[in-house]
Structure 1
């Protein structure tokens, strides 16, 4: 492959060497730089021994391939660093459980919820919502704080189908609601990825939450 850029017809070795160096240093540059190099090469060729047109096609294809590889490597570096290294750090969370107020997946096994009624409440109700935010269950619970197991029952006591659910706690005093808060639940991390909004944790059921939405981590 001819990659030389020269201004003297008789110095092809020096021209080739110069061009190779220029090509190597311009790989990370833009496509316009390469076109200027190619134009110079055409202007400098020996009119009595012109370059075969297929050589130009090879140069264009080679440059395009190398440029794409550089961009791919750059993208891989960004993925590894993942917003100041967050993606690499989140990889350690895969296989562990995080506590989040985002939708979590239920599939037969009880979910662990963190209950914290408002101060002064004499009663509390756990409200179950589906992934669209529709209420599908409500039950009276005690006013104690701590972890409880959610058994996925609706108002009639029937077990809810598999799916994504989220929770709300209504704290009451004298029959009046004095506070409503989102209830976090534990879900297992199955992966981590980058998005336009930053790193995301992928949970069981393919739901995704931002690390900023996580309030606890456990094995």
Structure 2
């Protein structure tokens, strides 16, 4: 049974600024109040024609009406601009998600798809002895063991074999890890799953990355793992 606990391969930052050749902005054909300013003037004229000569309307009232009119118009135009900004942000998020397709990434999580092998990343704040337990989709324990972890990140690779040497089938498996330091105090161990982004759902908001049948958002990505290279 080949179970490997090792430091992860070198990584590159997941923060990448994509370049775009064309920006599409959302626009609407909503008619603003100012586009029908003549109607407003007609209302004011009618109001003047029908005012009481003995009690004429206060000019301050007209001024207030003009100010209110301008304020409403500005609010409507601001709403249209916000719609355009939101559309641009969604487009940028979708473009950013596309750059991850085909790359190996690490994301927050504990459930990994096993097919020949499965890799989890374990992160401990300080050196600890970790008790690792792997369960299948029905909650049955298929593997458990104790491993020494150093402070920082380490990769745990499972070959699909249980403690009895039985080879488990492909499927979703969950890893949990609890740790204790040399004095017996509990040490928190964070788990991440590692896999290749095979597709992106751009119809979702925000865009969803598919990794081994599981969906994740771009803000869940912690690292992008650069493939190791060998020299002959």
Structure 1 residues 195 and 126 mapped into 2: Cα distance closer, same or farther (>3 Å)? farther
2:133 aligned residue = 127
2:80 aligned residue = none
Superposed counterparts of 1:161-172, under 5 Å: 161-172=169-180
Which blocks of at least 5 consecutive residues in structure 2 are unaligned? 1-27, 32-83, 227-232
Structure 1 residues 83 and 177 mapped into 2: Cα distance closer, same or farther (>3 Å)? farther
TM-score normalised to structure 2 length: 0.50
What SS does structure 1 have at the residue aligned with 2:207? strand
In 2, Cα distance between equivalents of 1:82 and 1:163: 36
Structure 1 residues 120 and 105 mapped into 2: Cα distance closer, same or farther (>3 Å)? closer
2:90 aligned residue = 83
| RMSD value, Cα | 3.4
TM-score normalised to structure 1 length: 0.53
Aligned residues: 143
Greater relative contact order (Cα < 8 A, sep 6+): 2
Structure 1 residues 181 and 130 mapped into 2: Cα distance closer, same or farther (>3 Å)? farther
In 1, Cα distance between equivalents of 2:181 and 2:203: 43
Structure 1 residues 163 and 29 mapped into 2: Cα distance closer, same or farther (>3 Å)? same
1:141 aligned residue = 147
2:191 aligned residue = 183
Task: Give a deviation string over 1:88-111, Cα, whole Å, max 9, x none.
Answer: 111111111111233332111x23
More helix, by proportion = 1
